[in-house]
Structure 1
């Protein structure tokens, strides 16, 4: 008996996703800052280090873009709020996409912890307590 179930089309590869418009320099600086802050948040909240970020890059086949800790550090140095960002080449679209994919992968892996942290923050806010006084 032949199956009549239609398989869904595979989603387009992330490289094929079009950009709706080019970002200006202010937007790019904001993007670079936000990406670095989200990575920093994941590091602090879930105890994620560079090794886990590199492992995520390898799992996502991004190890050609982010080869080692130094490459990861250089990408993160594109944040204009970092004091030592002078001299770093600008973060390009492919590098930004790579960081977004890594962030999404890590956030998915630590979803339960992130949800607990958000719930605790909401609870502390409702009680007018200082959020930094609570521990997960």
Structure 2
């Protein structure tokens, strides 16, 4: 069974630490020391095992589009496209691919994370990688 002690950054609320790091320009995810499993959304315990040996690591920022949907808006607002991104490390998360509407994005398209700002707060967004 894995280590059940909390690391120093873990002693504060995981979501607070995540957003603190995002504001500092770092996209961090958690990894279980005992299993090597990557975890996202920030949490106190590793899913499945309950181990408290999660450590923070910087994500590669690379991933692929797993799924996308467009939410139609009334004009003059632009439609909003949400995508599920599968990170290179394994976890999936919901975000937006900023440089293309859903009908131009394909499942499996490679994307790269960047940190944007919305309502004065940092937000994790993605751009499609340029195809050669």
TM-score normalised over the length of structure 1: 0.20
More relative contact order, 1 or 2 (CA 8 Å, 6+ apart): 1
Which has the larger strand fraction? 2
Which has the larger helix fraction? 1
TM-score normalised over the length of structure 2: 0.21
